[in-house]
Chains A and B, each alone.
Chain A
Amino acid sequence: MKPEDHSERTLELAGWPVRVISYKLGDTYHATADNVSPGANIARARGATKEEAEQSVLAKAAERLATTRVVPIDD
């Protein structure tokens, strides 16, 4: 099977840039979210439609990003 309907976009989520990649494999849509800098995958989800997979992955990513603590730096 070949990945179809591949798309990639970057948005801001919980104050952090996030890249969402989604594609269809067989009958299922798959989506991943990474944190752009440094680029680690932080969530993966699947769904019957592209929208469903992306909404699910963004919800998971938002939950994980909300745990990130920022420490003030005196430059």
Chain B
Amino acid sequence: MEFTALFLAVTTVMLVVWRGPRSLALTLFAVVLIASVATYLHHATDTLKLSF
């Protein structure tokens, strides 16, 4: 679900960049980047299924 939200957020940022005000686009970009890093840190603790 978190990735659906992330892709939806990126799509929204792109649409705002293309059609909306620049300042809002930059703010949303920052939110998406922070959300990406937060998602990464969350999944960095995933259990690994090593194949050897």
Q: Do A and B actually bind?
A: no
Residues of A within 8 A of B (CB): none
Residues of B within 8 A of A (CB): none
